[in-house]
C-alpha cells in the first residue's frame, strides 16, 4: 500500500512538473490573454509565495549574478535570458526591443520621456543609445518597481543619463516644464497602464510637451491592447502613425508597437 501511494505521489509530481514547465507554457504561447493569465497571475503569485520574494527582486538577482557592472548590453542579455529560460516578465522583450532600438537610433533624441519603468529594462535599452548630454526621464507609479529599476539602471552604469521619478503620470506630466525645465520632448515611450495611453497623450498635448516631429512609440497596442489610443492617433490629423507587427514579449502571440509622429 505504501509503495502504491509513493508511486502515485511520484507520478503526480512528475505530471505537475511537466504541466508547469512545458505543457501549459507551450499551450499558451500563441494566445496573449492566456499567456498573461498564466505568466503574470498564476505563476507569479505561486513563485512569490514559494520563494517569499517578488518577480522584480528575482530579476534583479539575475542581473547581479550574470550581468557585468557598467555594461548595459550585458544587463539586457541577462534579463532576456531570465525571462526566456527562468521566469516571464512584462518587459518589452528582445523582439520588440530591437524595434525600440531602431526607432530611438532613428530619432536620436536629446530629451526622452518614458511612461512606465517597471524594472528598468526598456530604460536601459533607450539610455544606452542616447547621445552625450541627452536626458531620459522615466516615470513609475509603483514604488517597489522603482526601487528595483534604480538598482538595474545603476548596474548598467546609466544613472547619469536617467532620472527616475516615482508617481502618477497624470500628476507629473503637468509639472514637467516647471520641475525639470523641459520645454518639449523629442521621443516618448508609452508602456504604463494601458488606460492611461490616450489621456496622457492628450495631457502632453495640452501641456505643450510635444513639438512638431516628436515621436511617440506605444507598446502592447494589440495585447492587452489600447483600441481607444490607436483610434485616436490613427485618425487624428495631428499624427502620422504606423504599426510594427511583432509578438508579446517572450511569446508567439501577436502584439506590436505603434509609432506616431506629432505633426503639430
Residue 86 labelled as part of a binding site: no
Catalytic residues: 191, 194, 219-220, 249
DSSP 175: G
Residue 220 labelled as part of a binding site: yes
Residue 205 labelled as part of a binding site: no
Query: 94 φ, ψ to 5°?
Result: -70, -40
Quickly count: other Cβ atoms within 10 Å of residue 260's Cβ: 26
Residue 159 labelled as part of a binding site: no
Residue 122 labelled as part of a binding site: yes
Helix, strand, coil share of the chain (percent; to 5): 55, 20, 25
User: Edge-to-edge, what's the strand order for the sheet holding 111-115?
Assistant: 162-166, 135-140, 111-115, 185-190, 210-218, 254-262, 239-247
DSSP 257: E
Contacts (Cβ under 8 Å, ≥6 apart) of 19: none
Give the Cα separation of 189 and 212 in Å (integer): 16
Kind and range of the H or E element at 14? helix 2-18
Query: CB-side exposure of 40: number of CA atoms within 13 Å?
Result: 14
Amino acid at each position: 500500500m505504501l509503495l502504491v501511494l509513493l508511486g502515485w505521489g511520484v507520478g503526480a509530481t512528475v505530471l505537475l512538473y511537466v504541466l508547469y514547465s512545458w505543457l501549459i507554457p507551450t499551450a499558451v504561447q500563441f494566445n496573449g490573454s492566456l499567456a498573461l493569465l498564466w505568466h503574470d497571475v498564476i505563476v507569479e503569485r505561486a513563485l512569490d509565495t514559494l520563494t517569499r520574494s517578488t518577480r522584480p527582486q528575482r530579476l534583479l538577482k539575475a542581473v547581479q549574478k550574470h550581468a557585468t557592472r557598467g555594461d548595459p548590453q550585458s544587463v539586457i542579455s541577462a534579463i532576456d535570458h531570465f525571462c526566456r529560460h527562468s521566469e516571464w516578465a512584462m518587459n518589452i522583450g528582445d523582439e520588440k526591443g530591437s524595434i525600440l532600438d531602431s526607432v530611438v537610433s532613428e530619432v536620436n533624441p536629446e530629451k526622452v520621456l518614458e511612461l512606465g519603468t517597471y524594472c528598468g529594462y526598456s530604460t536601459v535599452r533607450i539610455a544606452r543609445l542616447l547621445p552625450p548630454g541627452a536626458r531620459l526621464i522615466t516615470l513609475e507609479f509603483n514604488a517597489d518597481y522603482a526601487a528595483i529599476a534604480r538598482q538595474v539602471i545603476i548596474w548598467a552604469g546609466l544613472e547619469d543619463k536617467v532620472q527616475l521619478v516615482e508617481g502618477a503620470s497624470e500628476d507629473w506630466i503637468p509639472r514637467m516644464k516647471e520641475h525639470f525645465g523641459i520645454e518639449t520632448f523629442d521621443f516618448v515611450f508609452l508602456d504604463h497602464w494601458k488606460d492611461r495611453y490616450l489621456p496622457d497623450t492628450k495631457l502632453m498635448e495640452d501641456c505643450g510637451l510635444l513639438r512638431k516631429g516628436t515621436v511617440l512609440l506605444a507598446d502592447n497596442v494589440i495585447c492587452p491592447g489600447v483600441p481607444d489610443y490607436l483610434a485616436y492617433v490613427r485618425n487624428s490629423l495631428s499624427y502620422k502613425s504606423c504599426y510594427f507587427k511583432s509578438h508579446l514579449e517572450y511569446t508567439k502571440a501577436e502584439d506590436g508597437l505603434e509609432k506616431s509622429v506629432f505633426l503639430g
